[in-house]
Amino acid sequence: MKRLLMLNGPNLNMLGQREPHIYGFDTLQTIEEDIRTYVQTYNWELDAYQSNHEGHLIDKLQQSNGKYEGIIFNPAAYTHTSVALRDAISAIDTPVIEVHLSNVHARESFRSKSLLAPVCKGQISGLGVVGYKLAAQAFLETDDGEGG
Ligand code: DQA
């Protein structure tokens, strides 16, 4: 069975109540369940993990190596600061797609810089929760059909 990992960084556990005019009213649990249901239609599985701690996200990236076809990653504020997360993504073979609910290029200037995007397969920003689904679709539809 092929698997995807959905990884969410700091403060995303507060989705639904956190600045809903920017991030919407969906909770992280609802989003994870929607993506899980979606990947199951392709007979894939989804593991989901959220942490407010940079080191825990690094541990998860390292441990995921070889286990997943891809990682859907919203690194939240660490996007703009974390050389350590960038190095962790570079250190693993699993492709990572960076996702942001909001359009990071249309907000404060410090958000337009991603330290992680250059080492990711791609970046999706500003499409709300659909962004997670499109990232999943990118992995599902570029599947080589081998293994399982
Ligand atoms: C975010 C954008 C980041 O700039 C911010 O720090 C977040 C959420 C987004 O999903 O739009 O926490 O990653």
Residues 10-35, mean pLDDT to the nearest whole number:
96
Query: Over 80: is that where the pLDDT of 143 sits?
Result: no
Boundaries of every domain in the chain: 3-140
Contact between 57 and 9 (Cβ < 8 Å): yes
What's residue 62's pLDDT?
Answer: 98
Order of all β-strands in the sheet with 3-8: 45-50, 3-8, 70-74, 96-100, 122-125
Decide: helix, strand or coil at residue 102.
coil
Query: Over 90: is that where the pLDDT of 1 sits?
Result: yes
What's residue 134's pLDDT?
Answer: 98
- Residue 110 φ/ψ, nearest 5 degrees: -65, -20
Q: Which residues line ligand 1 (CB under 6 A)?
A: 11, 74, 76-77, 79, 100-102, 104, 111
Q: With respect to CATH, is domain 3-140 assigned 3.40.50.800?
A: no
> Could you say which of 23, 68, 78, 132 is catalytic?
23
User: Which atom of ligand 1 is nearest to 12's Cα?
Assistant: 12
28-48 tens-digit pLDDT: 999 999 999 999 999 999 999
Task: Give 97's strand partners.
Answer: 72, 122
Strand pairing report for 96-100 and 122-125: parallel
Is 23 in the active site?
Answer: yes
Query: Over 80: is that where the pLDDT of 144 sits?
Result: no
Mutate to test the pocket of ligand 1, among 6, 19, 54, 104 (most ligand atoms within 8 A of CB): 104
Sign of CA dihedral 79, 82, 88, 89: positive
Residues 79-108, mean pLDDT to the nearest whole number:
98
> Could you say which of 56, 100, 105, 132 is catalytic?
100
| pTM of the complete model | 0.96
Sign of CA dihedral 93, 63, 135, 85: negative
CA distances from 33 to 37, 52, 110, 148 (A): 6, 20, 31, 22
What's residue 145's pLDDT?
Answer: 60
Q: Residue type for 37, please?
A: T
